[in-house]
Chain A
Amino acid sequence: MSQKDRTERLLNLLFALMASSRPVPKHVLRDAIEAYKDSPSEEAFERMFERDKDELRSMGVPVETVEGADGVGGIEGYRVAADDYALPAVDFTADELAVLGLAARVWEQASLGPAAQRAVQKLEALGSGAVVDGPVGIETRIATAEPSFPVLLEAVRTRRSVRFDYRKPGDDAPEAREVQPWGVASRRGHWYLVGHDVARGAARVFRLSRVVGAAQAHGEPGAYDVPEGVDVVGMIAESAPRPGSSTATIRVAEGRANGLRRRATSVTPDGGSDVLEVPFSDDEAMAADVVGLGAAAVVLAPESLRSAVVRRLRLAAGEGAA
């Protein structure tokens, strides 16, 4: 089947579904549309029709399935209501159209790029004006390299479980997970899935780059509810290591250790260098940060952090473990 024939068939199906306010039975559609009439068997027609119906729905066409009044669960037919079909009239100002032009470029080369392009075509077909290339002086790009992205987006919207293999850093092998997705979010350039981990019976945050292969939708749509007021971005931020309750006293060279300076609660000049008070939670993680600064930072207290730093430095200096 050529692309032209399929496009024509889909278009004729759409016209047939919009032609009447009454639901159209399937056998009527088969008789009305040439490509269906020509299909070699009832089965071939059914397959073709199901595929076409799904295709129209995925484009946003509200194809309604109307159940029969006979009470035995049969389907009377299908229809597309004109009011549900049409994009409501929106009147954008010239400045708003320029901002939309800027927005349409954000997903360039990402999985939502073609969707943004189609959205712009539709908005322009309303006739209020052309979406122009937006203001100069700003460009924003969002990348979606993860193969699971479209699957998860759809699963979040339709409330459908997903299954995937997940490999945490340091794990030898990936682990199978089943998750009810609550939201997909990007923070600092990384994509995450937040949802209810079915086997663990608790909320979890997953980094999409650690999903092995692509996630698969599983089970029926509408299978769960997303808890009221869930803050997906907040949950991701909380899953990252946070500054803790201990305080390190660190002497740093002037103008250096600017990362530590940003985290410091106080900076006291002391004869050509500065003494910082920096909150932290884990000796080893903090020691790694200090050691990375080399001779520019010396821990004064606490002793546990000081010895963790000295041990790491001796190892790095080739003096063996202390």
Chain B
Amino acid sequence: MSAVKRGPDTAASRLSRLLALVPWLSAHEGVTIDEAAAHFGVTPDQLQNDLWLLICTGRPGHQHGDLVDIQFWDEDGRITVVDAQTLDRPLRLSPDEAASLLVALRVLAQVPGPHDRAALAGATSKLEAAAGEALSAADGVSVAVSTARDPEVSAAVTSGLAEGRALHLTYVGALDERTERVVDPMRVLTLDGRTYLEAWCRRAEAVRTFRLDRIEAAVVLEEPAVVPDDAAPVDLGAGALRPEGAPVTLALAPEVSWIAEEHPVESVRDLGDGRLEVVMPVADERWLVRLLLRMGPSVTVLDRPDLAERVQDEARRALAGYSDRA
């Protein structure tokens, strides 16, 4: 599991590793120090230190036969557990540990994708049984993510990915425009509670993410999906799916301060009069014009007088629709 980022090596995290190390070594007779270090995501030196620490511990008295006995000094670097004392089995899962995997499995069950449903159900029920009392921690945490509205869209996305075929999408983006496009599916992504299809868009000739709840229709095409070699998947580490665009500075009245919670913002500052000043990246200014119209005087643009004019123009055009009875 080298993909998982590791925290600092505290006494608790090191002890946790030691308690897993002994049964793991017992189950992998003759494994080398390098292999064991790679498995636990530590350096070979750290692993040797762990082994030295282990063989100095054991039942009180520390007489011959009381201590953990692991041999690891042969030239071939192989490790043999001679006496694991009472550490021959891994420690049961703590509440947090049980919750982390079970809640994650339950989220995976909500999203469409090429993952094996039978394996998901199997892993979940086995883990629930093994968790024992720690299961209650998992039941205290619920995660509901939004996904496709239409089960046919879910099914099409799943088979497009599983069978490697292109999809024809009818999509309504953030700008309220309905578009038709052919895409080559790459991944299903769930981020910030929403589920997206990441795909190579043949129309934009770029990688795009499509919110599943905004895909109105998806049809699996006969032709195979062909993702260009240089198509770069979304980097999930770096503030994924943040809009790219010039930042705009807004003042938010207290009743609309939730805007700073709902949208990615670069900074938030208290203006002292109850209002918040937020700096927000805006990918498409038409989106911001719509937001400003919606929110009326509760939101003020501080640094872009031209945007305020566009809002006025759009409001005048909209008023014309009411001139018959106004």
Q: Of A107, A190, A207, A251, which one neighbours B193 at CB under 8 angstroms? A: A190
Q: Roughly how many angstroms separate A295 CA and B255 CA in the complex, as a whole number?
A: 26
A85 neighbours in B (Cβ, 8 Å): 86, 89, 91-92
Q: Roughly how many angstroms separate A92 CA and B125 CA in the complex, as a whole number?
A: 11
Q: Of A88, A99, A104, A295, which one neighbours B314 at CB under 8 angstroms? A: A295
Contact present for B178 and A60 (CB under 8 Å): no
Contact present for B104 and A6 (CB under 8 Å): no
In the complex, B307 has a CB within 8 A of chain A = no
Contact present for B116 and A233 (CB under 8 Å): no
Q: Of A59, A87, A157, A262, which one neighbours B15 at CB under 8 angstroms? A: A59
Q: Roughly how many angstroms separate A207 CA and B27 CA in the complex, as a whole number?
A: 46
- Which one of A39-47, A127-135, A198-206, A241-249 is at the B interface? A127-135
Contact present for B1 and A117 (CB under 8 Å): yes
Contact present for A291 and B176 (CB under 8 Å): no
A122 neighbours in B (Cβ, 8 Å): 20, 90-93, 97
Q: How far is the CB of A123 from chain B (nearest CB, A)?
A: 8
Contact with B along A280-322 (1 / 0, CB 8 A): 0000000011011111111000000010011011111110000
Contact present for A291 and B296 (CB under 8 Å): yes
In the complex, B122 has a CB within 8 A of chain A = yes
Q: Roughly how many angstroms separate A124 CA and B58 CA in the complex, as a whole number?
A: 23
In the complex, B53 has a CB within 8 A of chain A = yes
In the complex, B132 has a CB within 8 A of chain A = yes
Contact present for A96 and B6 (CB under 8 Å): no
Contact present for B294 and A7 (CB under 8 Å): no
Residue of A nearest to B123 (CB): A96
Contact present for A114 and B6 (CB under 8 Å): yes
In the complex, B82 has a CB within 8 A of chain A = no
In the complex, B302 has a CB within 8 A of chain A = no
Restricting to A130-182, which residues have a CB under 8 Å from any CB of B?
Answer: 130-131, 133-143, 150, 153-154, 156-157, 169-172, 181
- Which one of B71-79, B142-150, B200-208 is at the A interface? B142-150
Q: Of A95, A232, A262, A298, which one neighbours B142 at CB under 8 angstroms? A: A232
Restricting to B69-107, which residues have a CB under 8 Å from any CB of A?
Answer: 85-86, 89-101, 103-105, 107
In the complex, B232 has a CB within 8 A of chain A = no
Residue of B nearest to A315 (CB): B296
Q: Of A87, A114, A138, A288, which one neighbours B92 at CB under 8 angstroms? A: A87
- Which one of A9-17, A67-75, A213-221 is at the B interface? A9-17
In the complex, B250 has a CB within 8 A of chain A = no
A123 neighbours in B (Cβ, 8 Å): 90
Q: Roughly how many angstroms separate A267 CA and B137 CA in the complex, as a whole number?
A: 46
Contact present for B91 and A106 (CB under 8 Å): no
Q: Of B26, B60, B189, which one neighbours A139 at CB under 8 angstroms? A: B189
Contact present for A15 and B316 (CB under 8 Å): no
Number of chain A residues whose Cβ lies closer than 8 Å to a Cβ of chain B: 123
In the complex, A223 has a CB within 8 A of chain B = no
Contact present for B97 and A137 (CB under 8 Å): no
Contact with A along B13-38 (1 / 0, CB 8 A): 11111101111101110000000000
Q: Roughly how many angstroms separate A101 CA and B101 CA in the complex, as a whole number?
A: 9
In the complex, A211 has a CB within 8 A of chain B = no
B186 neighbours in A (Cβ, 8 Å): 137
In the complex, A266 has a CB within 8 A of chain B = no
Contact present for A59 and B12 (CB under 8 Å): yes
Q: How far is the CB of B252 from chain A (nearest CB, A)?
A: 9
Contact present for B60 and A141 (CB under 8 Å): no
Residue of A nearest to B11 (CB): A6
In the complex, B48 has a CB within 8 A of chain A = no
A212 neighbours in B (Cβ, 8 Å): none
B111 neighbours in A (Cβ, 8 Å): 138, 140
Q: Roughly how many angstroms separate A10 CA and B5 CA in the complex, as a whole number?
A: 25
* Known contacts A105-B3, A115-B94, A124-B24; A185 and B143 CB within 8 A of each other: yes
Q: How far is the CB of A270 from chain B (nearest CB, A)?
A: 14
Contact with B along A7-31 (1 / 0, CB 8 A): 1101110011011000000000000
Contact present for B176 and A60 (CB under 8 Å): no
Q: Roughly how many angstroms separate A251 CA and B320 CA in the complex, as a whole number?
A: 13
B10 neighbours in A (Cβ, 8 Å): 3
Contact present for A15 and B53 (CB under 8 Å): no
* Known contacts A85-B92, A189-B194; A119 and B314 CB within 8 A of each other: no
Residue of B nearest to A309 (CB): B322
In the complex, A61 has a CB within 8 A of chain B = yes
Q: Of A59, A92, A101, A233, which one neighbours B126 at CB under 8 angstroms? A: A92
Contact with B along A243-260 (1 / 0, CB 8 A): 000000001000111110
* Known contacts A100-B123, A103-B104; A60 and B240 CB within 8 A of each other: no
Task: Pick the 4 closest A-B CB pairs, nearest first.
Answer: A189-B193, A127-B27, A60-B94, A292-B294
- Can you list 19 A-B contacts with CB-CB less than 8 angstroms, sorted by A residue number? A7-B15, A10-B11, A61-B91, A98-B116, A106-B108, A118-B97, A123-B90, A125-B23, A125-B89, A127-B24, A138-B187, A141-B191, A142-B104, A185-B141, A232-B142, A258-B172, A288-B294, A293-B176, A315-B296
Given A12-B58, A96-B123, A137-B113, 6 more A-B residue pairs with CB atoms under 8 Å apart are A15-B60, A153-B137, A256-B177, A291-B318, A294-B318, A310-B326
